[in-house]
Amino acid sequence: MSNISFILAQAATFGAAVSEQARGPDLLGAALDYARAGVPVFPCVPLGKAPLTHQGFKDASTSPAQIHRWWQWQPEANIALVTGAARSRIDILDIDVHPGGDGFAALEQVEQAGLIDSWQRIVRSPSGGLHVVFPSNPSPEQRSWAVPTAHVDFLANGSYVLSPPSRVRTRDGSVRSYEVVATGARPAPVAGWRLESVLRPARTVQLEATAGPQRSGPGPRWDAERLADWMAGRPEGNRNRSLFWAACRLAETGTVSTQQWETLAQGAVRAGLQELEAVRTIQSAQRSARLVAPVASGGVGAGEQRIAL
């Protein structure tokens, strides 16, 4: 039996003791404890995951005065923790449980590969999934990613997670808590890119470098990183159209390397698109860019959008 499997087998007894405490959770006290440990917090709706502040995780704070104000305003607010070394001290491997499947096979896969032995603590989520917590790695800082087919997310820079003793209402209407089920002996940072390389299926369709005339005129100059960051924030319902636009703008810069196209594709994946879907949309934009003559004059060409990045 693997280390984490053994822990889960013992979790029922341990979880009962934690649940006893969670019946009357000291949410303010827990929020202050996280802040003292250097992890910024912010409030979410009672029994839910939506932020109560206008800017969500961007409002997160370690200020005791601010935390007191939030929980005096909403004493039953859930506690959200910011992840990633840019602002916090934790990265999290999130093992999801959905009606369509769960991430436990993926967890077993990365554990057998010896990639997650350095976990700091393990939290059981109300759905029955797990948050495997690691100290964040400040050099290099790690990005968040998701592998939907494996039911796994990696929460690093730009993400947040609910934490004990927060409670949520589940699909069956019951109220359940986030519970710490184990604490690690030798915590150390985890290499998120290694986990992703093991869990993400090999792609059969590849992006290739493209060459073309550079757009002339005084209009904006796009780069892959900037477009990818903008793309990562696109809302559901507008992501494919936004990706097509971004790929066309990148193509207009002239010669674009495979790595630059991959950077844009990963921005789309961060927004929630499936990787293959993102690749096909970019390839469609590449074909379109080859057929459309470059705009000779500055400003916005026919059919082009003005979008502030």
DSSP secondary structure letters along 233-254: TPPTTSHHHHHHHHHHHHHTTS
Beta-carbon count within 10 A of 202 CB: 5
Same domain, 141 and 103: yes
For residue 14, the model assigns a pLDDT of 36
Specify if 232 maps to a domain.
Answer: yes
Specify if 213 maps to a domain.
Answer: no
Same domain, 161 and 251: no
For residue 158, the model assigns a pLDDT of 86
Phi, psi of 263 (to 5 degrees): -60, -45
Tell me the residue length of the chain: 309
Same domain, 189 and 270: no
Residue type, 14: F
Sheet holding 152-155, edge to edge: 145-147, 152-155, 90-95, 130-135, 121-124, 179-183
Strand partners, 169: 175
For residue 3, the model assigns a pLDDT of 61
Residue type, 130: L
Count of structural domains, the chain: 2
Specify if 20 maps to a domain.
Answer: yes
Same domain, 60 and 132: yes
Specify if 307 maps to a domain.
Answer: no
Same domain, 249 and 114: no
Same domain, 44 and 148: yes
Same domain, 230 and 152: no
DSSP, res 139 = T
- Residues 155, 273: Cα–Cα separation, whole Å: 17
**pTM across the whole model:** 0.65
Q: Which residue has the tokens 């939290």?
A: 123
- Which structural domain range is residue 82 located in? 3-199
Specify if 15 maps to a domain.
Answer: yes
Same domain, 33 and 82: yes
Same domain, 57 and 94: yes
For residue 214, the model assigns a pLDDT of 54
Strand partners, 152: 95, 147
For residue 307, the model assigns a pLDDT of 38
Q: How confident is the chain (309 residues) per 10-residue block, as mean pLDDT? A: 52 37 71 94 96 93 98 97 92 93 96 95 96 88 85 92 95 93 93 89 66 52 84 84 93 86 87 84 88 47 39
For residue 139, the model assigns a pLDDT of 74
* pLDDT tens for each residue of 201-231: 765 556 777 665 555 544 456 788 889 889 9
Nearest alpha-carbon partner for 181 in 3, 1, 37: 3
- Residues 225, 200: Cα–Cα separation, whole Å: 22
Cα angle for residues 254, 258, 259 (degrees, 5° grid): 105
Cα 4 to its chain centre, rounded Å, is 23
Instruction: Please classify residue 284 by burial: count the beta carbons closer than 10 Å to its beta carbon, then call 0-12 exposed, 13-18 middle and 19+ buried.
Output: middle
Specify if 209 maps to a domain.
Answer: no
Same domain, 22 and 148: yes
Specify if 305 maps to a domain.
Answer: no
- Residues 157, 144: Cα–Cα separation, whole Å: 6
Cα 80 to its chain centre, rounded Å, is 14
CA-to-CA separations, 65 to 31, 61, 62, 248, 306, in angstroms, rounded? 12, 10, 9, 48, 42
Phi, psi of 283 (to 5 degrees): -65, -35
